[in-house]
Structure 1
Amino acid sequence: MTYFLGMEVHQSDRGIFISQHSFALKILDKFCMHNCKAVSTPVAQGEKLTSSGDQQRVDERHYRSLVGCLLYLTATRPDIMFGVSLLSRFMHCCNEAHLKAAKRILRYIKGTASFGVMFESRNQLKLEGYSDSDWAGSLDDMKILQTLCCNFV
């Protein structure tokens, strides 16, 4: 195992596995979540976050630090990308609901700290594409969000 930019790199005959296991544990310690109960999903089903509302405001420095750490972790954790990018929309107007959602992602990381990305060695590559549309899913601006992802596998 070697380390590169805080990422743990494991090389084998199957391919290359990249993770940030130690960084994930450091994040849990930094935000006092190392003893939390793990959850099975990073975002609660049907959760809608908005910039408006009657929620109590939270410390922006603390929230920004937390979201920044989570953004760095997404380099090897595509499973948390949606939730973290959703939270990053509210850096300027963070409230208790946003902090609660961020802590849920930390609880998810607690149970999946060893997750990472596996680049398998293969002789043939195949291109796979995925798309998704969220019709007026944002409660703040009611914009349509379309996503396209292409991968070589």
Structure 2
Amino acid sequence: IYIHEQKCIKELLKRFKMNLCKPMPTPMHPFIGLTKDESGTFVDQTSYRGMIEFLLYLTRSRPDIMFSVYL
């Protein structure tokens, strides 16, 4: 069985206005420096939960996405 999630992933990126973001390889480098954005704005909790729900759906068929989401 071949599962192709490209359309679903593109829909996710477009829905959350991330379609122009720079892609990162998966799995990410284990020592990548992530910092907190002190001047960032709060996000809508409903929108954030929707994004997480979408990612959880994708993790069921893509182990590389699962690794990055649960990291």
Please confirm whether the aligned pair reaches a TM-score higher than 0.5, indicating the same fold: yes
Are the structure 2 counterparts of residues 42 and 68 from structure 1 closer, same or farther at C-alpha, using a change threshold of 3 Å? farther
* 8 Å Cα contact 2:26/2:64 also seen in 1: no
TM-score (normalised: structure 2): 0.67
For 2:3, what is the secondary structure of its paired residue?
Answer: strand
TM-score (normalised: structure 1): 0.36
Name the residue aligned to 1:26. 11
Name the residue aligned to 1:84. 69
**One-letter identity of the residue aligned with 1:34:** N
Name the residue aligned to 2:42. 58
**Pair 1:46 & 2:46 matched:** no
Deviations 1:115-134 (A, max 9, x none): xxxxxxxxxxxxxxxxxxxx
Larger radius of gyration: 1
Distance 2:67 2:8 in 1: 19
Q: What is the percentage of aligned positions where both structures have the same residue?
A: 37
Q: Size of the alignment, in residue pairs?
A: 67
Calculate the aligned-residue CA RMSD, in Å.
2.6
Alpha-carbon shift at residue 70 of structure 1 (Å): 0.7
Higher relative contact order (CA 8 A, sep 6+): 2
**Greater helix content:** 2
**Greater strand content:** 1
Are the structure 2 counterparts of residues 32 and 71 from structure 1 closer, same or farther at C-alpha, using a change threshold of 3 Å? same
Deviations 1:91-136 (A, max 9, x none): xxxxxxxxxxxxxxxxxxxxxxxxxxxxxxxxxxxxxxxxxxxxxx
Question: Which blocks of at least 5 consecutive residues in structure 2 are unaligned?
Answer: none
* 8 Å Cα contact 2:12/2:54 also seen in 1: yes
Distance 1:64 1:48 in 2: 25
